[in-house]
């Protein structure tokens, strides 16, 4: 009898185990997400879009297998695009309106893709260019990314990226980077370093759903690349076979042709690196369940082939804001095809959220909408909407380099006419994809409608909380010590009675205490001078003799809790006079 009971119990246990295993196997696996973005790679810097002079076989193959958004729109410059990607919002509502001069800091209160996915049990990694604030609480590790490997500022070797600036024309090689907030010396060419880290991240997280933001700083200038890739193009005519295609072509010079050769080499290097990354996904058996998004952040910086479009980086014409956008997800997006419906960078967050099941807070107001109906073909179109863009240093200028689009009609503010009146141009992008024929004169009603929407949008952006109250680094926390204040995140204002601009940082002191403040210089001082450090209403001064100093230190400076402005003013003797000189960066230790 006991044997019969044991046998029955064993059968039940085995049956239960089998059911559990079946349920486990049937449980849906969350998709991995890899978002790849390149820097200043234009729409025409791919073989897929008709450029016979560039070698991009991996990206061309990805395009052929992907769902492609034919009208994917971004901002004209990089940091604004990146803030919209991260938050699903217009850039200015996040505090980001420029690429430097304090305009590239994203408010830490913003909710990012990484934060949403982390809440959904994803492992999150950010590799490469961040450009949304280099101090706590705006760094990628403060905004939801568990693993980070990034450079500072808008580019490796720019003045804000002080660890690499003084390397000048070799900054892209063996760069100093920040790994999980700690400074590390790397070996190799920057794009190779980033790809190797990306493959390690994928390997380390193969058993978990993961989100990887792989943000190459190439082919942004300075145009540095391995000799192997320069040699590929050194004898190439970048314009060959393109000028006489019956579409507009930018004015090019020998210098712009040389720039194109270097850009093409940098892009081919990225293409080779993506082959390694995609092979890693395949080897690990992750390709089928991984969404790969490839895009670029804006148009090209230099004049070169751009598929006939008008404008380039910095411009709201199509050449500045229309970029490649490939979405490859074999498990769900079965058919490679082109989608003509206009889409935008701020649509990425809600799309990824819907795909992964990540919850968007009900009180979070975003501009973007999910593209899943288009990607899965459950709907072939989305409700029509207005899409606005602008770019100018510091703040919008009415009405210069600002656009508002509805469907295929696009109104562009181009400044003033000869009589000082606001000037607008209207384009039908279906009939005139190259924006050559202004139809505003015969469509006054549409001009009025789009200008009214443009005004409402500008009013909203200019009055947004984080434009009126710019995000600020926080000094004196356990999260970042010492704090390095760099030039990219500094604000500038004109010095009274001078053309010189004063550099300063608005910061928040976490708790009242004493700090050592060191002002670093970008060269050895070989002349006499003085350094003034203005902290709120107080000024401290060091007079120095040129004895090879590369830094000047103010010890035990008491800073009180709250908001304060820190402004270094430096003067060095030159030709018998004290000349204004910019410090390199400021270190605050406490």
DSSP state of 189: B
From the list 333, 329, 226, 322, the residue with the least C-alpha distance to 273 is: 226
Q: Is the pLDDT of residue 504 over 70?
A: yes
Q: Is the pLDDT of residue 1 over 60?
A: no
> Would you call the peptide bond into 426 cis, given omega within 30 degrees of 0 as the criterion?
no
Who wins on pLDDT, 15 or 271?
271
φ, ψ for residue 179, nearest 5 deg: -105, 115
Q: Is the pLDDT of residue 7 over 60?
A: no
Q: Is the pLDDT of residue 254 over 50?
A: yes
CA angle 505/511/517 to nearest 5° reads 45
What does the alpha-carbon distance between residue 108 and residue 138 come to, in Å, rounded to a whole number? 5
User: Could you report the per-residue pLDDT of 289-302, keeping only the tens digit for each?
Assistant: 999 999 999 999 99
Q: Is the pLDDT of residue 3 over 70?
A: no
Residue 38 binned pLDDT confidence (cut-offs 50, 70, 90): very high
Please name every residue paired with 296 in a beta bridge, in sequence order, or none if there are none: 38
Would you call 248 helix, strand, or coil by DSSP?
A: coil
Q: Is the pLDDT of residue 250 over 90?
A: yes
What does the alpha-carbon distance between residue 137 and residue 308 come to, in Å, rounded to a whole number? 42
Asked if 106 and 86 touch (Cβ cutoff 8 Å), the reply is yes
Average pLDDT of the segment spanning 139-158: 97
φ, ψ for residue 240, nearest 5 deg: -60, 130
> Rg of the Cα trace of the chain?
26
CB-side exposure of 554: number of CA atoms within 13 Å?
24
User: Could you report the per-residue pLDDT of 398-436, keeping only the tens digit for each?
Assistant: 899 999 999 999 999 999 888 889 999 999 999 999 999
Average pLDDT of the segment spanning 467-491: 96
Asked if 65 and 71 touch (Cβ cutoff 8 Å), the reply is no
Residue 28 binned pLDDT confidence (cut-offs 50, 70, 90): low
How much is the pLDDT for 578?
A: 85
Residue 159 binned pLDDT confidence (cut-offs 50, 70, 90): very high
- In percent, the amount of the chain with pLDDT more than 70 equals 95
How much is the pLDDT for 378?
A: 78
Cα dihedral 259/198/110/175 (nearest 10): -50
User: Could you report the per-residue pLDDT of 55-79, keeping only the tens digit for each?
Assistant: 999 999 999 999 999 999 999 999 9
How much is the pLDDT for 380?
A: 77
Interhelix angle 190-204/254-283, nearest 10 degrees:
20
What does the alpha-carbon distance between residue 228 and residue 230 come to, in Å, rounded to a whole number? 6
How much is the pLDDT for 18?
A: 44
Would you call 16 helix, strand, or coil by DSSP?
A: helix
What does the alpha-carbon distance between residue 251 and residue 516 come to, in Å, rounded to a whole number? 52
How much is the pLDDT for 348?
A: 98
What number of H helices and E strands is found in the chain? 13, 28
Residue 566 binned pLDDT confidence (cut-offs 50, 70, 90): very high
| Sign, Cα dihedral of 487, 216, 97, 365 | negative
Asked if 440 and 425 touch (Cβ cutoff 8 Å), the reply is yes
How much is the pLDDT for 236?
A: 97
How many Å is the maximal CA-CA distance in the chain? 111
State how beta strands 337-339 and 67-69 pair.
parallel
How much is the pLDDT for 422?
A: 92
Average pLDDT of the segment spanning 112-141: 98
284 burial (CB, 10 Å; 0-12 / 13-18 / 19+) is: middle
Asked if 262 and 225 touch (Cβ cutoff 8 Å), the reply is yes
- In percent, the amount of the chain with pLDDT more than 90 equals 88
Q: Is the pLDDT of residue 20 over 60?
A: no
What does the alpha-carbon distance between residue 336 and residue 372 come to, in Å, rounded to a whole number? 15
- For 546, the enclosing helix (H) or strand (E) is none
Residue 381 binned pLDDT confidence (cut-offs 50, 70, 90): confident
Asked if 481 and 590 touch (Cβ cutoff 8 Å), the reply is yes
Average pLDDT of the segment spanning 101-129: 97
Please name every residue paired with 213 in a beta bridge, in sequence order, or none if there are none: 35, 126
- For 563, the enclosing helix (H) or strand (E) is strand 562-574
Q: Is the pLDDT of residue 87 over 90?
A: yes
Listed in sequence order, the DSSP H helices in 234-347 are: 254-283, 318-321
Asked if 375 and 333 touch (Cβ cutoff 8 Å), the reply is yes
How much is the pLDDT for 10?
A: 43
From the list 144, 109, 138, the residue with the least C-alpha distance to 126 is: 144
How much is the pLDDT for 228?
A: 98
What does the alpha-carbon distance between residue 536 and residue 364 come to, in Å, rounded to a whole number? 35
Residue 494 binned pLDDT confidence (cut-offs 50, 70, 90): confident
How much is the pLDDT for 19?
A: 43
User: Could you report the per-residue pLDDT of 512-540, keeping only the tens digit for each?
Assistant: 999 999 999 999 999 999 999 999 999 99
Q: Is the pLDDT of residue 17 over 90?
A: no
Mean pLDDT score of the chain: 93
Q: Is the pLDDT of residue 6 over 60?
A: no
CA angle 346/349/350 to nearest 5° reads 100
């Amino acid at each position: 009898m006991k044997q019969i009971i044991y046998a029955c119990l064993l059968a039940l246990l085995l049956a239960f185990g089998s059911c559990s295993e079946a349920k486990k196997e049937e449980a849906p696996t969350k998709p991995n997400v890899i978002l790849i973005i390149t820097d200043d790679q234009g729409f025409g810097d791919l073989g897929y879009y008709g450029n016979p002079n560039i070698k991009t076989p991996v990206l061309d193959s990805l395009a052929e297998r992907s769902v492609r958004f034919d009208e994917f729109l971004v901002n004209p410059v990089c940091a604004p695009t990146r803030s919209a990607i991260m938050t699903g919002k217009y850039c200015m509502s996040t505090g980001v309106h420029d690429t430097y001069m304090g305009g590239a800091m994203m408010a830490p209160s913003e909710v990012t893709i990484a934060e949403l996915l982390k809440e959904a049990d994803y492992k999150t990694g950010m590799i490469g260019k961040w450009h949304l604030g280099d101090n706590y609480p705006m760094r990628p590790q403060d905004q939801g990314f568990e693993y980070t490997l990034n450079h500072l500022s808008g580019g490796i070797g720019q003045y804000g990226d002080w660890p690499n600036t003084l390397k000048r024309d070799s900054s892209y090689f063996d760069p100093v980077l920040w790994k999980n907030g700690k400074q590390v010396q790397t070996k190799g060419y920057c794009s190779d370093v980033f790809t190797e880290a990306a493959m390690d991240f994928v390997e380390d997280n193969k058993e978990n759903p993961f989100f990887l933001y792989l943000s190459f700083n190439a082919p942004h200038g300075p145009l540095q690349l391995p000799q192997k890739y320069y040699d590929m193009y050194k004898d190439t005519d970048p314009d060959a076979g393109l000028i006489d295609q019956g579409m507009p072509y930018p004015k090019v010079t020998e210098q712009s042709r040389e720039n194109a050769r270097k850009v093409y080499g940098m892009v081919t290097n990225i293409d080779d690196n993506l082959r390694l990354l995609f092979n890693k996904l395949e080897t690990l058996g992750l390709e089928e369940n991984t969404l790969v998004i490839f895009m670029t952040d804006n148009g090209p910086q230099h004049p070169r082939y751009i598929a006939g479009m008008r404008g380039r980086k910095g411009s709201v014409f199509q050449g500045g804001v229309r970029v490649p956008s490939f979405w490859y997800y074999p498990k769900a997006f079965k058919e490679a095809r082109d989608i003509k419906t206009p889409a935008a960078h701020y649509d990425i967050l809600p799309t990824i959220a819907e795909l992964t099941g990540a919850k968007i807070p009900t009180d979070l107001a975003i501009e973007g909408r999910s593209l899943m109906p288009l990607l899965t073909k459950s709907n072939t179109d989305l409700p029509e909407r207005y899409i606005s863009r602008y770019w100018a240093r510091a703040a919008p200028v009415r009405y210069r380099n600002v656009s508002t689009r509805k469907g295929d009609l696009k109104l562009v503010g181009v400044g003033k006419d000869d009589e000082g009146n606001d000037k607008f141009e209207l384009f039908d992008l279906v009939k005139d994809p190259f924006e050559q024929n202004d139809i505003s004169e015969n469509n006054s009603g549409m001009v009025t409608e789009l200008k009214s929407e443009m005004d409402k949008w500008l009013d909203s952006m200019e009055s947004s909380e984080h434009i009126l109250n710019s995000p600020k680094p926080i000094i004196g926390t356990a999260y970042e010590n010492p704090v390095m204040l760099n030039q990219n995140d500094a604000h500038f204002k004109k010095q009274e009675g001078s053309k010189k601009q004063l550099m300063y940082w608005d910061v928040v002191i976490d708790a009242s205490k004493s700090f050592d403040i060191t002002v670093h210089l970008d060269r050895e001082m070989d002349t006499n001078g003085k350094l003034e450090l203005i902290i709120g209403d107080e000024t401290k001064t060091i007079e120095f003799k040129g004895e090879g100093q590369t830094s000047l230190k103010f010890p035990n400076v008491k800073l009180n809790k709250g908001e304060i402005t820190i402004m270094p003013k430096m003067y060095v003797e030159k030709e018998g006079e004290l000349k204004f000189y910019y410090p390199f960066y400021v270190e605050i230790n406490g």
